[in-house]
Amino acid sequence: MPVLTRLKSRFANLQIVWADTAYAGPQLAQRFRDLGSWQLVIVRRQPDTGFSVLPKRWIVERTFAWIGRCRRLAKDFENLAYTACAFVLLAMIRLMLRRLARACS
């Protein structure tokens, strides 16, 4: 899979990739085994527990909520993936700058 090989070259220190149960198929697991250094961990729900916070899943949901607070990213207004990616980066830069400014004051 060309995407995984490109990501492996960019993120050499990455060791574990957490994924939802939608990515639990045998083909993706085989691709990760072929890469060698990455471990694919599927986060599964516990049966018959009702609502429960899934490990590591809340991090993704929280980040999406932070991004959604930016007016431009609240809905899918962008036609091109490049502009959407640029606005996500700007939203995260804004978030980090606010945190740094709060820590320095």
- Distance separating alpha carbons of residues 91 and 97, to the nearest angstrom: 10
Radius of gyration of the chain (CA): 17
Query: 0.85 cut: is pTM over it?
Result: no
When pLDDT is cut at 50, 70 and 90, the band that residue 1 belongs to is: low
Tens digit of each residue's pLDDT (9 = 90 or more) over 20-72: 788 888 888 888 888 777 888 888 777 777 777 777 777 777 888 888 888 77
Hey, where are the domains in the chain?
1-49, 56-105
Cβ pair 42, 24 in contact under 8 A: yes
Highest averaged pLDDT of the listed ranges 22-31, 34-43, 74-83, 91-100: 91-100
Tens digit of each residue's pLDDT (9 = 90 or more) over 11-30: 878 888 888 788 888 888 88
Cβ pair 52, 28 in contact under 8 A: no
